[in-house]
Amino acid sequence: MRTIIEPFRIKSVERLRKTTPEQREAFLQAAGYNLFKLHADDILIDLLTDSGTSAMSTDQWAAMMRGDESYAGSPSFYRFESAVKELTGFKHVIPTHQGRAAERILFSILCRPSDIVPNNTHFDTTRANIEANGATALDLPLPAASDTQARMPFKGNLDVEALERLIEREGAERIPLVMVTVTNNSGGGQPVSMANLKAVRAVTQKHGIPLYLDACRFAENSWFIKRDEPGFEKYTPRQIAQQMFALADGCTFSAKKDAFANIGGFLCSNNSRLAELETRLLILTEGYPTYGGLAGRDLEAIAVGLGEVLDPDYLEYRIASTAYLGRHIADHGVPIVEPPGGHAIYIDAGRMLPHIPRSQFPGQTLAIELYRHAGVRSVEIGSVMFGNHAQHELLRLAIPRRVYTQSHIDYLVEAILEVNERRNELRGIEIVTEPPMLRHFTAEFRPLSG
Ligand SMILES: Cc1ncc(COP(=O)(O)O)c(C=O)c1O
């Protein structure tokens, strides 16, 4: 059979509430045209994030029921620990309440002011946690990655030559670790090849610099390697993931993505002295080392999810479903970041709405219109989020795992193509409240007429 189906059936459903365009305009006005301020039950299809929004399986819910809430030594922790160790091969596993807690602990131990931490592209929280320690978070994506239209496999790779030049120029002692984010979320959800990871490994090893994975979407990355990297078709996603982890000295992980959990994360390393320092910090802010800010039932959900996500049927469907959305809108004239990534489709709103200048926020304008037209929530990744540092004016459609079906995706295609037909009529917006920090969460806007 050629049709790729959702490899699950649905036992428990959540109602979606339909609203009219007039109701949605009123909700938008009340929210100051900031979609973060909408009430989630006023949304039909919510593509704000793929983080913490997965549907859990019957096995995960069953495992949660046996969650053991002992303060110390819970069997739920040991099941979690052995699932993580079996997958990653790392010696030390520290649970945290989510990915950014792992980042904060790692960087506050390793980073000093004037240090530099390179990455293919830092996610906002890794950047913020590095900068909070006075160090510099440096992105080293491939030069071709800045062209949203360039179609190449493994566009998320780290620029290894740029890394070598950096080490030569600044000295290895200023670089406490190198990170690689798989898949590259801020770079369009693009994957990283095994060859690239090996090349980064060779450079870091030569200079004695630890290599860490930001591994939130390790399984999706493994599937791209299996599908597109010569020589890997014969391996299972688990074997590929294990090879990726084996190249690193440690990882940070948000279990809200590729572990299908609604909360959770972990920090791993092979360095016993470092793990001891990390554990001390963990106790200060997260909790005792056998729960690290999580309930026993959360640890159980993660342990099961880490196994389920590597099912080839699931990964084939997941990546095909994202690509289906991307291809069906791009092939009808909507410019997206090419090629489609793993967890999200990014519309290049700057390119789609060239008559709306950056100062009038084309990405946010498009997000507002998509909600007004069809009840779909997405998120601007452009000048609202990054101010003058924005490289592109993008609209991200992040796809929650195992939540929406093919007909939801077809509805999205229809909605986006209808908005695209009227693109020349759209007018920009202006900011009316300008909070000093994290303005994408709290700023309010006003539509411009004319
Ligand atoms: C690549 C990447 N790293 C780190 C994080 C942070 O994880 P968390 O939201 O669990 O703190 C995210 C979350 O979206 C992410 O996408």
Q: Considering only CA atoms, which residue is closest to atom 16 of ligand 1?
A: 185
Check if 120 has its Cβ closer than 6 Å to any atom of ligand 1.
no
Q: What is the mean pLDDT of residues 304-321?
A: 98
Q: Would you place residue 304 in the very low, low, confident or very high pLDDT band (cuts 50, 70, 90)?
A: very high
Which ligand 1 atom is at minimum distance from the Cα of 181? 1
> 450 falls in which pLDDT band (50, 70, 90)?
low
**Which of 107, 216, 267, 346 has most ligand 1 atoms within 8 Å of its beta carbon, as the pocket-test mutant?**
216
Of the candidates 242, 168, 163, 253, the residue with the CA atom closest to the CA atom of residue 202: 163
Q: How far is the CA of 209 from the centre of ligand 1 (A)?
A: 23
Q: To test the ligand 1 pocket, which listed residue (48, 50, 51, 381) has its Cβ within 8 A of the most ligand atoms?
A: 51
249 lines ligand 1 (CB under 6 A): no
The answer to whether residue 142 scores a pLDDT higher than 70 is yes
pLDDT the model gives residue 433: 87
Pick the residue with more confidence: 217 or 435? 217
Q: Does residue 270 register a pLDDT over 90?
A: yes
437 pLDDT above the threshold of 80? no
Instruction: Name the residue of 254, 258, 343 whose CB sits within 8 Å of the most ligand 1 atoms, as the mutation to test its pocket.
Output: 254
- Give the mean model confidence (pLDDT) for residues 204-212: 98
For residues 56-81, give the mean pLDDT.
98
**What per-residue confidence (pLDDT) applies to 50?**
98
Q: How do residues 232-267 score in pLDDT, each as one tens digit?
A: 999 999 999 999 999 999 999 999 999 999 999 999
Query: What pLDDT, on the 0 to 100 scale, is given for residue 187?
Result: 77
Residue 364 pLDDT > 80? yes
Q: Say yes or no to pLDDT of 288 above 70.
A: yes
pLDDT one-digit tens code per residue, 164-187: 999 999 999 999 999 999 999 887
Per-residue pLDDT band at 203 (split at 50, 70, 90): very high
Residue 54: pLDDT above 90? yes
pLDDT at 434 exceeding the cut of 80: no
Distance 81 CA to ligand 1 centre (A): 20
pLDDT per residue as tens digits for the range 366-420: 999 999 999 999 999 999 988 888 889 999 999 999 999 999 999 999 999 999 9
User: Is the beta carbon of 265 within 6 A of some atom in ligand 1?
Assistant: yes
Average pLDDT of every residue of the chain: 96
Which pLDDT band holds residue 221 (cuts at 50, 70, 90)?
A: very high
